[in-house]
Chains A and B, each alone.
Chain A
Amino acid sequence: MANQMNYLVGQGVQLIPASGHGTGWTAYNARTYRIRYYLQPSINGHSGGATQSLWNIGYTPNVTPGTGGTPGSAVLALNGTISGSTGSYSGTSRVDSLFFTSTFTATDSWLDLTFTQSATTTVAVQDITCQELPVDSIFLSPDGVSLSPLRAGLPITADVREPYYEPGAAGFPSNAQLSPTLGARTFFQWGVPYEDNSVVTTTFAKKTTATSATSIFSDNSQVPVLARFMSTPGTTTATITVRAFAWVESGGSGKVYIKNTKTGSLATLSVTSTTPMWYTSTLSIDSEDVSNVLNGGTQSSLTNYLDFSFQSTTSGRHIYVSSLSVTET
């Protein structure tokens, strides 16, 4: 049984699906940037386990394409406390990646990716990913050295096993129902720096003074979402949590809207603080229909998309958004 549980738990939950910034955001030399993420580990909320993750920062040289670049190093700080390892990598091709690993506690929480750019090179950060790997599953160096054999899985002890149950299922013993937070899916993460050399910056954040709803992203403001298949009979929808890391200009106020384009349902976040902080709401989206193989598990031909927009509610004052997070509740 423990092996089966290992097999499941160690499946590499994607905490940050590859997310990016189009042509990238420019990290100038000798500067430190801080990006805020809200992560929801697979054993979220349960004691007895920690999460180790593999991060990747994809970058391109910003100055002379084709000549490589040096991205410097990155450090993870969880709730302000550095708990990760640093990584650095000197690239020689036109696109390269910075890998590093980090261990943090298995509780959903915000986390800062602190990225210090090398003193000599400017690069464009193109995409960032983070995949959860169970403790003890990372072998050797991830950049260029094979991880074979890659073993995935948490050691199953009584302390770890118990939380996989949840009381209350009719007809079953107490603590017999799988916790719905276990393995919750992350749908979308987007983040750009909100701090540059420890000072809040609005350079990278999306911003507007428009007093009517405006797309946050310049071209395509929609991302597909489809929740996990749930075995409860008749369940066709799931609740997701949407978060925006946002702030307003002094004297300002604003709103962030996240809309399910299929249903039209809308989550509205009222932003009032001049200090960057998370704003949170929920939405309902479709769950997978795993029997619908031909349509990739969707319930109908119409896919759920989330549309992101924002507006200022105080004339002449900006609203800023530097991170967005969409996870299963």
Chain B
Amino acid sequence: MASYETGQLGYYAHNIAELDTSDLSALHTTAWISNLNHLADQYAQVRVNYIAANSGIVLNNISNNIPRRFITLGPFSLLTTSAGTPNPVRVGIAGIRTKGSNPLVYGIRVHPWGFPDYLLPDGTFPQVALTYVSPPPSPWIDATTPHIINTFTTHMVADAETALSPTQTLPLYAASVYVWTNFGLPAGTDAKLEGVYVAEFGGG
């Protein structure tokens, strides 16, 4: 049996001693554990696969250092590792500059559901910024490189075994995805959002 020391396997590795195997053969138990490990590693979910079906969301006349919100998606709970922290997520953004010539920055962050949109990106929550420079071959910005958010804090997720552990006063039972633009641009740039992808990665 292969050994998987990432993802949620640790949860089982630490609990094998508690197994009640009185009604199971050794082979059966091995198969069961293998299946559990297998299932654990498989369970990462695609949380967002958003496609701007009707011509996308356009933000006009983006100004310097004033982030603008495209959309908030969710909520959903996030899988946790054996340490109680969320697995990393792969993120992707499809977008295009529809006016102007300066580089555009698209930002995507995961934060507790219910966190007010008007609280702009400030580093409080894990985020990734993707820079659009010129028309790429794919609408997905820098499509050949997966972008990973892996700096979650434990208060962002539901603890499936015990209870939620919010450190804030908000009802933090789930996370959501917030997509925005833009930093450091002269006014007069228009940006369009065409797709958002967020998928958990159980191997991180």
Contacts and interface: CB of A to CB of B under 8 A. Distances in A.
B161 A7 contact: yes
B183 interface: no
A228 interface: yes
Contact of B140 (A182, A224, A289): A224
B53 interface: yes
A222 B139 contact: yes
B31 A228 contact: no
Given A18-B74, A147-B164, A185-B46, A8 B51 contact: no
16 contacts: A10-B160, A17-B46, A17-B49, A22-B57, A25-B54, A146-B171, A150-B163, A150-B173, A152-B160, A185-B42, A185-B45, A219-B139, A220-B52, A223-B195, A290-B41, A305-B140
A302 B146 CA distance: 9
B117 A177 contact: no
Interface string B124-149: 00000000000000111001111110
Contacts of B197: 223-224
A161 B158 CA distance: 25
Contacts of A22: 52-57
Interface in A148-190: 148-153, 164-165, 169, 171-173, 176-178, 182-183, 185-190
B54 A224 contact: no
A303 interface: yes
A131 B76 CA distance: 7
Given A129-B74, A148-B163, A224-B92, A169 B51 contact: no
B12 interface: yes
Contact of A303 (B27, B77, B146): B146
A58 B45 contact: no
Given A10-B160, A20-B50, A291 B203 contact: yes
Contact of A5 (B36, B51, B144): B36
Contacts of A189: 49
Interface of B: 2, 4, 6-7, 11-12, 15, 19-20, 25, 27-28, 31-32, 34-57, 71-77, 79, 88, 90, 92, 94, 96, 117, 138-140, 143-148, 158-164, 166, 171-173, 177, 192, 194-199, 201-204
Which of B39, B49, B166 has most A Cβ within 10 Å?
B49
Contacts of A186: 45-46
Contact of A220 (B47, B73, B166, B195): B195
Contacts of A56: 74-75
Interface string A1-26: 10111011011111001111111010
Given A14-B46, A220-B194, A229 B41 contact: yes
Given A219-B139, A220-B94, A296-B201, A4 B34 contact: no
A97 B203 CA distance: 32
A81 interface: no
Contact of B192 (A176, A182, A219, A301): A219
Nearest to B24: A1
A213 interface: no
B54 A178 contact: no
A70 interface: no
A236 B197 CA distance: 22
A98 interface: no
A312 B194 CA distance: 25
Contacts of A301: 144-145
Nearest to B16: A4
A293 to B, nearest CB: 6
A187 B44 CA distance: 11
A148 B31 contact: no
A210 to B, nearest CB: 17
Contacts of B194: 219-220
Given A25-B54, A164-B35, A290 B47 contact: no
A244 interface: no
A197 to B, nearest CB: 22
A301 B143 CA distance: 9
Given A19-B49, A20-B50, A20-B73, A173 B195 contact: no
Given A14-B47, A17-B47, A177-B31, A297 B38 contact: no
Interface string A100-130: 0000000000000000000000000011010
Contacts of B38: 178, 230-231
A19 B51 contact: yes
Contacts of A129: 73-76
Contacts of B195: 220, 222-223
A228 B146 contact: no
